[in-house]
Structure 1
Amino acid sequence: MDLSTFPRVPLGSWPTPLDTCPRLSAELGATVLVKRDDVGGIGLGGNKLRKLEFTLAAALAEGAGKIVTFGGVQTNHGRLTAASCARLGLRCELVLTRSVSRSGFAYDRSGNVALDELFGATVYLCDTDEEAAEIAAALADDRTVTLPVGGSSGLGVLGYVSAAAELAAQLGDRHVDRIFCALGSGGTVAGLALGTETPITAVTVSREADAAMAVVEQVAGLAADVLKIDEPKLDHVTPDDSALGEGYGVPTDEVWAALRLFARTEGIVLDPVYTGKAAAALVAGVRPGETVVFTHTGGTPGLFGYAPDLAAEARIGALPAETWIHRLTHRIPGSGP
């Protein structure tokens, strides 16, 4: 699709790498390629930058001076909106809702929240969606543009229509059986679905499969209106809620195991909210001999909002201190009794 007629501001470093992952692939008995949208660009990177290149360009064209957007406390979209506004000289107001039953210094003040404020955003923490709506209404004026959760508007979807073309160019003639991608607010999956006919396994992070697919259909329809194309057929998208667990922002044991696997085989860091769940579904569901692309949508700073869990989970499988001290002192002459 020709996207050249749409305003766009440069925020990311494209193309992002497509990593071959031999050790991870050997562990899973399948070929896994990782599309590294977690690297490159401002604000520590992530999938939301692709959406913001289009949505913020449109906001600037409208004469906006202030951006208001929404999310959970540890929203990646909020962090990257704040970073992008800093780059573009826009005021940023983040209206965040306590949508996860979690508290404490790490979750409320570290990770993405700390970066939001470092980038100069004003952060409003709300207990309910109704409170968030009231604050957003009070912030609005004639130079305010409001972005939806996750940046998943019809215009934002274009970021991943573009990404699908980028991925196709990197793959060339190489056959891929499936693309795995986390599914939250729907914009990333909708863009990929519009841009490729490759089957997509959309791993839901906040809703059961049918409800999550309805979100993708809605957002893809908005993008079709923007692109002036027919209502898209999404038969090649399969929602997968096998890693959903207790809901949004609640990682399962399988999620933490997937984080360790990616880290210890390839040095790739996932997050426990989005990519961790997508990876857990990949580990459980990839078929022997398949070639798959795992879309790494970023979110690494949010990992530190789960610092107590991270500290505990990272040690699983590690040698106890007395064991490695014993091994070192017996391997190195004169290093100890």
Structure 2
Amino acid sequence: MNLARFPRRRYTAGFTPLEPLPRLSALLGPELWIKRDDLLGLAGGGNKTRKLEFLVAEALREGADTLVTVGAPQSNHCRLTLAAAAREGLHCRLIIEERVPGTYSPDALGNNLLFDLMGVESITPVALGSDLGAAMAAEAAAVAALGRRAYVIPGGGSNPLGALGYASCAQEIMAQSFDQGVAIDRIIVASGSAGTHAGLLVGLTALNAGIPLTGINVRRPQAEQEANVHALAVTTAALLGTPVPDRSAVSALDRWVGPGYSLPTPSMVEAVRLLASVEGIMLDPVYTGKAMAGLIGLAREGVLRRGERVLFIHTGGSPSLHAYAPALRDPVLQPQ
């Protein structure tokens, strides 16, 4: 798997930690480990940093001076794209898709505050169901009218080039597994825009790792998400020149989505509060909170066996926690 032939910016010094979760393991049974991609470089960390290393390198190669992208309210991807733009001296324009009506407020805390602090050039809210490609194309045209050049990054940075960031992460995990003498039996990751999930799958397949990868879906029905992940894995493997993962290797469980994307659930609140209280690690309500709720559920059901070594990929997102304070403190959502 030759990633060195792709231009890349580096926003993180070295590998992110691979750490045990001994107190959570004692509560749940499996031997749990965590990959701390919440500690990746750029503002507040998170998985999009790995994707942006490849995407921003391509933007700079093309001579772009402005990054344009899209995300939901409180988008971690938008925060990190804006941070990369600030690091590189570029402008940044954001399209905010209100996936739940009425949820975008420019005055909100969390990531919305950080958009302002990092000097976003413009934010354009659009309704769910809008043509996001057309909205980003319109922004790129507006940039061109100013005599500048835009580079458009898809939501989540989830195209084949961005997914290379998590093919690289698979390589990193295997190196750490060897160095630390930690043989991983299963990996669990949040599955949203599909780039992280697909990139890991491509990397693990290319390395012949033989480690099952379980996605915990945060937005879509299982069949739809699994199709999205496999389609992106196919095009990413083609870009990388490695074997295509088998469709049967794609798993994106949807039982912990709840009423919809970003909407709080009791199991998410339990997961966020539990990991914070027993391990001192912050999750986010939209992605990692629901993914950890899935891990907890699978452990309690016996799907994750006692003594099985399970690695959870912490994809970041904690800067948005403050915006969800009412839900995290709601007694109705607290575990009884």
TM over 0.5: yes
- CA change 1:131–1:186 in 2 (3 A) is closer
Percent of aligned positions with the same letter in both sequences? Answer: 43
Aligned equivalent of 1:168: 174
Aligned equivalent of 1:81: 81
Distance in structure 1 (CA, Å) of the matches to 2:49 and 2:66:
18
Confirm or deny that 1:256 pairs with 2:255.
Answer: no
- Alpha-carbon offset, residue 126 of structure 1: 1.8
What is the identity, as a one-letter code, of the residue corresponding to 2:256?
A
Q: SS of the counterpart of 2:160?
A: coil
Aligned equivalent of 1:177: 185
What runs of 5+ residues in structure 2 fail to find an aligned partner?
Answer: 205-209
Aligned equivalent of 2:198: 190
Q: Give CA deviations for 1:100-142 in whole Å, capped at 9, x if unaligned.
A: 245386x862111111121111222222443755542322145
Distance in structure 2 (CA, Å) of the matches to 1:86 and 1:314:
40
Distance in structure 1 (CA, Å) of the matches to 2:86 and 2:331:
35
Match of 1:289 among 300, 307, 312: 307
- Alpha-carbon offset, residue 145 of structure 1: 1.0
Match of 1:156 among 150, 158, 162: 162
The number of residues matched between the two structures is 317
Match of 2:322 among 284, 293, 304: 304
Distance in structure 1 (CA, Å) of the matches to 2:87 and 2:312:
29
Aligned equivalent of 1:97: 97
Q: SS of the counterpart of 2:74?
A: coil
What is the identity, as a one-letter code, of the residue corresponding to 1:26?
A
Is this contact kept in 1: 2:73–2:103, CA < 8 A? no
Q: SS of the counterpart of 2:51?
A: helix
- Alpha-carbon offset, residue 235 of structure 1: 3.0
Distance in structure 2 (CA, Å) of the matches to 1:255 and 1:7:
38
Q: SS of the counterpart of 1:130?
A: coil
Deviates more, 1:297-306 or 1:138-147: 138-147
Is this contact kept in 2: 1:54–1:155, CA < 8 A? yes
- CA change 1:165–1:209 in 2 (3 A) is same
Is this contact kept in 2: 1:69–1:93, CA < 8 A? yes
- Alpha-carbon offset, residue 39 of structure 1: 1.1
Aligned equivalent of 1:109: 108
What is the identity, as a one-letter code, of the residue corresponding to 2:217?
T
Q: SS of the counterpart of 1:34?
A: strand
Aligned equivalent of 1:67: 67
Distance in structure 1 (CA, Å) of the matches to 2:137 and 2:150:
10
Distance in structure 2 (CA, Å) of the matches to 1:193 and 1:6:
19
What is the identity, as a one-letter code, of the residue corresponding to 2:171?
A
- Alpha-carbon offset, residue 230 of structure 1: 4.4
What is the identity, as a one-letter code, of the residue corresponding to 1:150?
G
Distance in structure 1 (CA, Å) of the matches to 2:158 and 2:332:
33
Distance in structure 1 (CA, Å) of the matches to 2:288 and 2:41:
19
Is this contact kept in 1: 2:69–2:95, CA < 8 A? yes
Match of 1:278 among 276, 287, 291: 291
- CA change 1:213–1:315 in 2 (3 A) is closer
What is the identity, as a one-letter code, of the residue corresponding to 2:307?
G
Q: SS of the counterpart of 2:330?
A: helix
TM-score (norm 1): 0.88
Distance in structure 2 (CA, Å) of the matches to 1:187 and 1:136:
19
Give the aligned CA root-mean-square deviation in angstroms: 2.1
Distance in structure 1 (CA, Å) of the matches to 2:131 and 2:160:
26
Aligned equivalent of 1:265: 278
Aligned equivalent of 1:123: 123
- Alpha-carbon offset, residue 307 of structure 1: 2.1
